[in-house]
Structure 1
Amino acid sequence: MVPIVTSSQWKGCLAASAVIIGGYVAWKMLKPDSRNVKLLSARELQKAKWQHVGKVKKVWLYPVTSCAPLDLYAALAAVRAGLEELTSSLRDRSYAVVNDSPKYSVVTGRMCPQMVFIKPSLDENGDLTLSYSGRDPLCITKASRQQGPIKISEIEGRTVEGVDCGDEAAAWLQSVLQRPVRLLHFNEDVNKSTRVPNPPTPVTLPLLQPGDSDSNADLTGYSLLSMASVEQLQGPGKSYAALRFRPNILVDSDDKASCGKLRPHQEDEWRYIKIGEMAIFRNVKPCTRCTFVCVDPDTGKKDPNLEPLKTLQRTRMRKPWSEPLFAIMMSLQTRGVVREEDPVYVLY
């Protein structure tokens, strides 16, 4: 006797199959390939056959950790610390808000979601101005970040020297965040850090080299994300801006690319990334995600259901990482300028 399969049972089978297939595809995309992780010399990179995969859609530089970015047409990738604004040499995450306490531990958007509403801008002198609704703007001159007292800050379990930007900046930020804080400026060329060359990670990172780790970032100073990965998260009642995930470089599909339209999380598979004619990066580590992705950059509010983190925990977990993976962290191999609409080439 042939068993009868009801419509609801058939739909259930299809849904289960989709989950299994989707999980397998995600596992394959995350599975490391040890064959192609060796370091390449400058000569090998020059002779390599790069594959055109997309183009740069956005270039974002975050002057103050956890605050809004500068939306740039172009930025310079010249040092391990991260992107630099072309005219002022302002570096990514070169400022941080810290608790006014003996350890000066960093304050992030996880603690104060309203930080995403603190907006930076640059004047013709290269001085940084911070703006927040209902407050007069705060101007941070170059002099204030050079003449203030040196303070030792604790960031992610390491100590870093930073220049205190003064009482005016502290009072302004305290009025916004409603907690005693200071603003520190970090300059990796001058200030000291106890960060080890290769901090411990759950897996070996063969493309991470001594000196890649930045003093004021989770590991390295550059992050990249594709629009395809962001779009896969969208759904009924779910709309997430790419800025929620705070990449430095957002990549989109390009009609001229040889690979066709980008697949979600295709960036996970890239080993070397070349942007434009000169800038080359190494894909050293997947980017692990915390509750900060639950903060909407348009409203400054944290999602009460902790989305999209919950979705990422269901779909983007990989042992031995304890947090979901979304985007990649890169180290600088060859300096160059990164521009919107620049072609993106990769080696697998």
Structure 2
Amino acid sequence: MITHDGEVDMSEQTLSHTTTTDAGSVPDTAVLEQMYRLMVTTTLADKRSTEEAKAGRLQAAFYPVRGMEAVCAAIGAALTPQDRLVSTYRNLGDALAKGVTLRSIMAELYGRVDGTSKGKGGPMHLHDTAVGFIATTGIVGSGLPIAVGLALANQLDGSGAATVVTFGDAATSIGAYHEAMNFAALWKLPIVFVCQNNQWGEHTPIAEYAPSVELAKRAAAYSIHAERVDGFDPLATLHAIETAVERARRNEGPTFLECVTYRLTGHSGTADFSYVPRNELEAAMKRDPAPTFRSWLIDQGLTTGERIDELDREAEAYVADAFQFAENSPLPGEDELFTDVFADDTWVRSVK
């Protein structure tokens, strides 16, 4: 939790669903395993990407998602293929959650033709419209107005689909955030704003750039339903996102969810993070999402250690395969230099 003076105290936090979630509200085993698989896959792929970036083999700016795995898993379990997701440059877990293949993600990180953007977008520009992963952006907060436009389209066409947009805590200080929130509230759009509050705006702790560290309270000023949730708790987060998505489907307007986590690594894959208070980082690491959820699943008798080990091996193989695929994928050729850069004027001529 964030104390009144802005410091973080996680020593007393636990998985809230171990005490507050009754048996009837726990998803079935298949969903729980899906969530765990996504969390551990994200952790492993994140670790490997960071290692590759530090070694110089991955020559791109990679932004780790460590600490946010539970939020990503909850998003993946809550959304349908028809729903749309807009993410940030810290997007690995979000992309996996929406169904983008790890092979295409890694190929894009390496700038290869089999990547999500044919190797020309890089880590900050993943997208796969086939699965509803519409866009990621390298500009803080810029995904919010894009998501609002998608939500307006959903409202106008009556599709019943919801739009979810993820962003970090620092994005709540950007003008585009306030414009998007105001527009969504005014038009009662079917959108869920998911703030992945990892408590750091690059190298600045939240208490040093936000007079109120409880971002849900700031969001409520727009007359939007706003809620603060433990972002280390995958089931509490899943319940909050599912409820928000259902509100969107019923045309009851937008929801703002502040999912409180903690960044377990540096701002980028190669960044020094010695400035992070050691006691805060150690306390947060004790709640490392994937290992914590693993222990809880076994302790609650929802699965066995043998089954979890099997899921771990599957994730390890999946990650190894994706990196090998990316390394074997060719680089874009010169013939791709201007493709997707300039608009085709065929349509313009056809309507004249």
TM-score, length of structure 2 as denominator length: 0.25
Rg comparison, structure with higher value: 1
State the TM-score, normalizing by the size of structure 1: 0.25
The structure carrying a bigger helix percent of its residues is: 2
